[in-house]
Every structure is written in structure tokens, then in C-alpha cells.
Homo-oligomer: A and B are copies of this chain.
Amino acid sequence: MRADARRNRDRIVAAAKAWFATHGPEAPTEDIARSAGVAPGTLYRHFADREALIRAVAINNFDHAIAEATAAVSEEASAWDALVRILRQSQELRLSFRLLTAYPHMHAVLKKERDAEQARKHMVDLLDRVVRRAQAEGTLRTDVGTGDVAVMFALLSHPVTIDPSATAQLASERCMALLLESLRAGEQHDQLPGQAIWPEQITEDRDRR
């Protein structure tokens, strides 16, 4: 791949990432191309269609999120601290989850490309390890599973649309803080409905419309 082509591809992915983060995965391809400083034709030379672009953004995102999570795990003293840091601070992870929950087809879209599916799995596995380790060390309540944590995080990754935006930002952080508080191991926990949700409970076959 020529150097300029490589550079264009990267700029398109970066532009798409920005648009997806602010306007969701239905953002106009034309706007994305313009932001990337290329013509629409160039975008489509690199990505067969919108879904391919989404996959590329997702892979990029998952990879960054994995890197951030890995750093958290290795740098924090406990699994709990790592978990808190990951959930609270990782913008990349936030976007990853937004993408994953942005529209129902997402899993089907990802599965069309081995790399995308692997990156997703890798990310989930990493989260799973942190969750289990935190439970093992006694800091995370044991009646929740990685699936619970993932769902919580996915939901909290939606943009909060209130004014002023500083309040929106704060609201989101407070919400996260509350949730984390409820996740911490403690004496008197309510009985949660059902059983803990683990990755295995989540079928990724979402294509039956």
C-alpha cells in the first residue's frame, strides 16, 4: 500500500470516528470524507460500503480500548482500581461501547470481518478477566457478571443531551460513580433479579432481524 493511500485511509478512519462519536454511525459519508480531506470516491476506494467503514472504526477503537485497559491493569494496584479506571476514563472504550450498542445489526456487521470480531472478543475477554480478578480479590460484588458490567457501561456510553453541556458531562460522571458504588462488594446488598450475566449468556447471533 502506497504511503499516501495509507495516510488517506487513516485520516478517513479518524474522521469517521469523530463523526460516529458525535452523530452516531449514520453520519453522512460525504461529511466524513470532507472532514478527512478526501473526495467521496476515495472513501469508497478504501471501504466497500458504510459497514466496512464502521468495522474499520470499530477495530481501531477496540484496539485502542484494549491498549488503555491493558495499561490500567498493569499500572493499578488492584483489579478494582483497574476496573474503575477503565470504566471512568477510557474515551476509546466509551466509543467502542457506543458503537456496539448504536444499532442492533452491529454484531452482524462485525462478524463479517474476522479481525473485527476478534478485536471485539479480545476486548470482552480482557474486561472479563478484570471482573473475575476483582471478584477474586473481594472488591467486586459476586452476584454480577461481566455481561452486567458491559451492559451498564454500554448504557452509560450514550450521550446525555441536556444543556449546559458541562452539566451533561457531570451528570454522566455522577451516574457512573453511583453505579460503581453499587458494584463494590459490601455487606447489605439487595437481591438482584435473575442470575449474573456472563459473556457466555450472550448469543451474538443478532441477524435474525
Could you tell me if A203 and B158 are in contact, using CB atoms closer than 8 angstroms?
Answer: no
Could you tell me if A179 and B177 are in contact, using CB atoms closer than 8 angstroms?
Answer: no
Partner of A175, one of B155, B160, B170, B180: B155
Could you tell me if A197 and B167 are in contact, using CB atoms closer than 8 angstroms?
Answer: yes
Partner of A193, one of B107, B170, B206: B170
What is the oligomeric copy number?
4
Could you tell me if B204 and A161 are in contact, using CB atoms closer than 8 angstroms?
Answer: no
Partner of A171, one of B147, B179, B182, B204: B147
State the main secondary structure of chain A at its contact with B: helix
A104 surroundings in chain B (CB, below 8 A): 159, 161
Shortest beta-carbon distance, A106 to chain B, in Å? 7
State whether the Cβ of A15 lies closer than 8 Å to any Cβ in chain B: no
Could you tell me if B181 and A193 are in contact, using CB atoms closer than 8 angstroms?
Answer: no
State whether the Cβ of A156 lies closer than 8 Å to any Cβ in chain B: yes
Name 26 interchain pairs, CB-CB below 8 A, sorted by A: A100-B161, A103-B161, A147-B162, A147-B167, A147-B171, A148-B175, A151-B160, A151-B172, A152-B175, A154-B160, A155-B160, A155-B175, A158-B158, A162-B203, A163-B204, A167-B202, A170-B197, A173-B193, A174-B193, A174-B197, A175-B179, A177-B192, A177-B193, A179-B179, A180-B190, A181-B182
Which of A's residues lie within 8 Å of B, judged by CB?
100-101, 103-104, 106-107, 144, 147-148, 151-152, 154-156, 158-164, 167, 170-175, 177-183, 189-190, 192-194, 197, 201-206
